[in-house]
């Protein structure tokens, strides 16, 4: 086999080297998102194996040396020689681009349409990767490394060929790898990111036990361990999202399949007025929606109206509520599985396949009609109709109110704009609007700014929580209306990006809980009502310093708790520290130097995902359940903003 193997091997290595040359083509970025992608490529393989009925456990371990490990109790990657490739199945998986764990599509129902670049990409972008396979009484091992030869890096080269190293009676696969720090800006896996995604996967794949062990954190003498296992699947997911704010105890759950898709859906009403639809295709979140969501929405509207008429929840002379009316306060999770997925949209998170709309609509309609004819579910439909009717009324009233505001627009708006210190320059591409927490910080910012392109809008107190209130009430809020008038784009359906007067909209809030809250509220508002502003990258968060370390003339600003000891050491004996509790404690010059000067400041661009997360944060924060709120805050609220954001900057 010798010679043949060698030549083939070189071709293979060239493939992996191409990945290293252009990582972005395969994993999007070399920031934190790309780093985590390495892990998801591996995890996806285990999920596939288990969803096809082989095994029930996946254990992910994050080690102190920076490596990550994924272990499952499936059948174990085949070790026999692959008929076309002439090398072991294991070697194919880690050296062939696009091979993944998926040898052909008969093996796995819906594979291949997943993230899809395969485990070889993880190998190509790792320092080393070690795989163990447990199969048919034997334990096998194989090892890859990115080795330097004549000054060039060869990615993912075989350093230990596949060999049997012992006997075992178990089955499964275990892969451990160390991301290459020559590729990634930072190779630290985020506990939050990993934990959140594994929890999500456990919801989406009911009954699978997914364990996260994080050896970097100790809890009571042993490494932190989380076990995610949800026998209720999407039902449990909806309960989790609604976090005790549900209006009826049991989410409605439906499932079905056609030639093209398999579908599951669960929904439940909450006491809030927002619609929250979370959709997935082959376990991948589709945050921009798409044809499956369109089909779902039509089905809900039609089924609700049809059954409501039949049960006389809607009287003969009453009009049908609209879809948006029914969806107010509804949390929905839709998950479908299909082949040949086409993703579209700004972030490639929108399902484009046109044939899927009807497919989803038919299944959901039929299942909903069946579900609502059952006695135990009639109450939920009755509630839906009651809410739908109320929402329709408010919608009509808001429409009238809006028409009135439009008429007397100019006078009133000029009043509101009073608080805004606008920029003198007229080039909107260069102009920046700072939304600043508090009047005193607002005052400093007004003095500090470069008025030729920077505008300041001080916010007094907390602006209204956009999540909780209806559109009409949001619009009535003075601060929000000032923002809307200042930006010039209009909102909701009227939103028109081409009228945007400030191409950077920068939120400046304090580094404390209230500040985080204000930031989340504003992000939620923009996410809900001016999403185009977020998706086109116009929304930013400014980072004020947490400390000033000073010794005589020398002064240094510190933006995170982590940095503080380093700076202190560098400055040496005789220093003093000032802690900034709020923006208001800085004088105009300091505020300019640290936070506003385009040459020195750090801005974090907000993406749609951040904004959607802010919303979830608020849902939890503002809920009525005080215990849940407390535990959420202690678990998630990282007020050390530099860390949290520096991570995002890598995106």
Which residues form the interface with ligand TSJ (CB under 6 A)? Answer: 42, 45-46, 49, 70, 72, 74-75, 77-78, 93, 101, 103, 107, 119, 173, 175
Q: Is 467 left (phi over 0), alpha (psi -120 to 50) or beta?
A: alpha
236 is catalytic: no
CA proximity to 441, closest of 540, 582, 639: 582
Q: How far is residue 555 from each of residues 123, 175, 551, 552, 603, measured CA to CA in Å?
A: 45, 48, 6, 8, 22
Residue 433 pairs in a beta bridge with: 455, 505
The two three-digit tokens of residue 417, written as one number:
């704009």
Contact between residue 35 and residue 186 where contact means Cβ atoms under 8 Å apart: yes
Minimum CB distance to ligand TSJ, residue 157 (Å): 16
Residue 148 pairs in a beta bridge with: 153
Cα 62 from Cα 189, distance rounded (Å): 8
Per annotation, catalytic residue among 14, 181, 512, 589: 512
φ/ψ of residue 483, rounded to 5 = -60, -45
Tell me how long the chain is: 651
Cα 537 from Cα 429, distance rounded (Å): 12
CB proximity list for 109: less than 8 A, separation 6 or greater: 52, 337
Which residue, 101 or 515, has its beta carbon nearer to ligand TSJ?
101
259 is catalytic: no
Per annotation, catalytic residue among 514, 555, 585, 609: 514
Which residue, 107 or 160, has its beta carbon nearer to ligand TSJ?
107
Cα 178 from Cα 181, distance rounded (Å): 9
Which residue, 119 or 307, has its beta carbon nearer to ligand TSJ?
119
CA atoms within 13 A on the CB side of 56: 5
Which residue, 172 or 542, has its beta carbon nearer to ligand TSJ?
172
Minimum CB distance to ligand TSJ, residue 93 (Å): 5
Cα 283 from Cα 523, distance rounded (Å): 26
Cα 619 from Cα 388, distance rounded (Å): 21
- Residue 374 CB neighbours (<10 A): 8
Cα 255 from Cα 266, distance rounded (Å): 9
Per annotation, catalytic residue among 510, 563, 593, 615: 510
Helix (H) or strand (E) holding 277: strand 276-281
Minimum CB distance to ligand TSJ, residue 77 (Å): 4
Per annotation, catalytic residue among 437, 610, 644, 647: 437
Which residue, 77 or 314, has its beta carbon nearer to ligand TSJ?
77
Which residue, 75 or 517, has its beta carbon nearer to ligand TSJ?
75
Minimum CB distance to ligand TSJ, residue 292 (Å): 27
512 is catalytic: yes
437 is catalytic: yes
Cα 149 from Cα 159, distance rounded (Å): 13
Minimum CB distance to ligand TSJ, residue 131 (Å): 6
Minimum CB distance to ligand TSJ, residue 104 (Å): 9
Which residue, 90 or 300, has its beta carbon nearer to ligand TSJ?
90
Which residue, 162 or 307, has its beta carbon nearer to ligand TSJ?
162
Cα 345 from Cα 639, distance rounded (Å): 32
- Report the SS3 class of residue 228: strand
Minimum CB distance to ligand TSJ, residue 173 (Å): 4
Minimum CB distance to ligand TSJ, residue 148 (Å): 24
Which residue, 68 or 480, has its beta carbon nearer to ligand TSJ?
68
Cα 504 from Cα 626, distance rounded (Å): 36
Minimum CB distance to ligand TSJ, residue 72 (Å): 5
- Report the SS3 class of residue 154: strand
Task: Return the active site residues.
Answer: 437, 510, 512, 514
């Amino acid at each position: 086999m010798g010679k043949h193997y060698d030549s083939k091997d070189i071709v293979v290595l060239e493939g992996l080297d191409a990945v290293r040359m252009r990582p972005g083509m395969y994993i999007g970025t070399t920031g934190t998102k790309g780093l985590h992608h390495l892990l998801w490529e591996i995890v996806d393989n285990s999920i596939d194996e288990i969803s096809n009925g082989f095994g029930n456990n996946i254990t992910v371990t994050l080690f102190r040396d920076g490596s990550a490990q994924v272990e499952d109790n499936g059948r174990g990657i085949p070790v026999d020689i692959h008929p076309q490739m002439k090398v072991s199945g294991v070697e194919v998986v880690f050296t062939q681009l696009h091979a993944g764990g998926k040898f052909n599509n008969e093996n796995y129902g819906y594979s291949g349409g997943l993230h899809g670049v395969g485990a070889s990409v993880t190998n190509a972008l790792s320092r080393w990767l070690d795989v163990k396979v447990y199969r048919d009484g034997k334990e096998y091992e194989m090892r890859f490394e990115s080795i330097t030869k004549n000054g060039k890096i060869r990615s993912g080269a075989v350093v230990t060929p596949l060999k049997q190293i012992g006997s075992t009676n178990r089955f499964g696969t275990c892969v451990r790898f160390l991301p290459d720090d020559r590729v990634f800006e930072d190779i630290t896996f985020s506990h939050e990111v990993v934990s959140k995604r594994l929890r999500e996967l456990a919801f989406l794949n009911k009954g699978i036990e997914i364990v996260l062990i994080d050896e970097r954190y100790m809890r009571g003498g042993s490494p932190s361990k989380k076990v995610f296992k949800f026998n209720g699947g999407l039902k449990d997911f909806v309960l989790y999202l609604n976090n005790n704010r549900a209006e009826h105890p049991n989410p409605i759950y439906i499932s079905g399949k056609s030639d093209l898709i398999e579908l599951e859906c669960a929904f439940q009403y909450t006491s809030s007025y927002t619609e929250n639809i979370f959709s997935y295709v082959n376990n991948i979140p589709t945050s921009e929606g798409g044809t499956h969501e369109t089909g779902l929405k039509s089905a809900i509207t039609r089924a609700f109206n049809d059954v409501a008429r039949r049960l006389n929840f809607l009287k003969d002379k009453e009009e049908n509520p609209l879809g948006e009316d029914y969806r107010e306060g509804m949390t929905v999770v839709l998950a479908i599985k299909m082949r040949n997925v086409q993703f579209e949209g700004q972030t490639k998170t929108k399902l484009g396949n046109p044939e899927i709309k009807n497919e989803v609509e038919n299944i959901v309609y039929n299942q909903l009609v069946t579900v609502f004819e059952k006695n135990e579910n009639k109450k939920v439909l009755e509630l839906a109709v009651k809410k739908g009717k109320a929402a329709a009324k408010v919608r009509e009233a808001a429409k009238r109110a809006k028409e009135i505001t439009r008429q007397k627009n100019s006078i009133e708006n000029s009043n509101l704009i009073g608080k805004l210190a606008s920029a003198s320059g007229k080039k909107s591409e260069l102009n920046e609007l700072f939304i600043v927490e508090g009047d005193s910080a607002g005052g400093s910012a007004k003095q500090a700014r470069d008025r030729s392109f920077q505008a300041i809008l001080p916010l007094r107190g907390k602006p209204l929580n956009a999540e909780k209130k209806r559109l009409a009430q949001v619009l009535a809020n003075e601060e929000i209306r000032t923002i809307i008038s200042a930006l010039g784009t209009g909102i909701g359906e009227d939103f028109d990006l081409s009228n945007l007067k400030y191409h950077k909209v920068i939120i400046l809030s304090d580094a404390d809980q209230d500040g985080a809250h204000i930031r989340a509220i504003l992000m939620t508002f923009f996410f809900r009502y001016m999403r185009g502003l977020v998706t086109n990258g116009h929304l930013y968060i400014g980072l004020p310093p947490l400390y000033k370390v000073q010794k005589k003339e020398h002064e240094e600003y510190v933006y995170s708790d982590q940095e503080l000891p380093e700076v202190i050491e560098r400055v040496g004996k005789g220093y003093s520290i000032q802690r900034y509790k709020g923006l208001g404690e800085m004088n105009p010059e300091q505020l300019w130097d640290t936070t506003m000067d385009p040459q020195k400041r750090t801005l974090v661009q907000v993406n749609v995902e951040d904004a959607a997360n802010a919303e979830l944060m608020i849902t939890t924060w503002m809920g009525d359940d005080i215990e849940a709120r407390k535990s959420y805050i202690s678990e998630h609220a990282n007020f050390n903003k530099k860390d949290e954001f520096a991570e995002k900057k890598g995106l």
